[in-house]
Amino acid sequence: MRDHGGNLDQAMASYGAGDWIDLSTGINRRPWPIPDLPAAAWRNLPTKAAQAALVAQAAASWGAAKGVAGLALGGAQAAIQLVPRLRPKGRAAVLGPTYNEHAACLTAEGWQVDAVTDPADLVGADLAIVVNPNNPDGRSFAPEALLALVGRVGLLVVDESFGDVTPDLSLLPHPARGGLLVLRSFGKFYGLAGVRLGFAFGTAEDIATLSRMSGPWPVSGPAIEIGTRALADLAWAEAMRAQLAADATRADALARTAGWRLVGGSDLFRLYDTGDARAAQDRLARHQIWSRIFPWSATLLRLGLPGPEPEWRRLEMALGPKA
């Protein structure tokens, strides 16, 4: 079932329109401040030089090793949709439960997809998917553990879409090697999901294949301009990691007042055992706060972190004893 967070249409259909706070995703609600953009970013087709500069900045900001090739795409989702075409169809193994687009896109392209819960069960797959840190439970793996899988699967795809808050987990600082592809998202940590920007990193051969499949202009001029500037703002990124860590602690304290138990997450989202996920979602929705529940769990609710203080005050009201 391809259900997702960010489905505010469903929230409004059930509870009415209004000033919704969307905490159903792991998108940072303290976004990087967008400056005025040059008119050329809107008017002209993106140049190859500008696209290359964006990828180079991403590689530098995320500490990619020399020789790791990269490609900018229209969000990590665009990469997820291309991955099934990067190798001949066969058996894929997806470590889960996790973001369901990986399995959905593989299935749509004719792959046999096995959902597994133990990394050892990835071994032998023609294509293996690991989200690190994982969405929605925050499960994470040391780089050495993932690198040990390279060569034991046909292609290992590591989705680091939430990796900005855990830079020590990234595989990008390790040398490029055949059979490994790393995906990154821009919009989640930088709070600009509407820019639709993501990246794929790997060997020159795999990146060249992805580039041919994605076409000459895989990202827009404004996305290139915003991404290049934001990724260069290392001071903002460092301060934001500290802010989000504090916000996560604050959210956990509020959740405890509602009797919820923390069972996982990252500094971009939290996963709580609420006892009754639908009732918990309804409780928040009555305050026009949207959250994420799952068809495979009756108790778990994922909650993003509020940004400005008015959002925190509304969450406090929703989770307080008089809610």
The one-digit pLDDT tens for each residue of the chain (323 residues) are 588 899 999 999 999 999 999 999 999 999 999 999 999 999 999 999 999 999 999 999 999 999 999 999 999 999 999 999 999 999 999 999 999 999 999 999 999 999 999 999 999 999 999 999 999 999 999 999 999 999 999 999 999 999 999 999 999 999 999 999 999 999 999 999 999 999 999 999 999 999 999 999 999 999 999 999 999 999 999 999 999 999 999 999 999 999 999 999 999 999 999 999 999 999 999 999 999 999 999 999 999 999 999 999 999 999 988 66
Q: At 302, is the secondary structure helix, strand, or coil?
A: strand
pTM of the predicted model as reported, rounded to 2 decimal places: 0.96
Q: What pLDDT does residue 323 have? A: 63
Q: What pLDDT does residue 3 have? A: 84
For residue 312, CA distances in Å to 15, 49, 284, 302 come to: 20, 42, 12, 16
Strands, sheet with 112-116, edge to edge from the N-terminal-most edge strand? 69-73, 198-202, 180-185, 155-159, 127-131, 91-95, 112-116
| CB of 297 closer than 8 Å to CB of 15 | no
- Can you state the angle between helices 8-15 and 277-285, rounded to 10 degrees? 80
Q: What pLDDT does residue 304 have? A: 98
Q: Tokens 């009797």 label which residue?
A: 259
Q: Tokens 């290139």 label which residue?
A: 224
Please state, as a whole number, how many other Cβ atoms lie within 10 Å of the Cβ of residue 65.
13
Q: Name the fold adopted by 39-232.
A: Aspartate Aminotransferase; domain 2 (3.40.640)
Give me the residue spans of the domains in the chain: 8-31+235-319, 39-232
Q: Which CATH architecture has domain 8-31+235-319?
A: Alpha-Beta Complex (3.90)
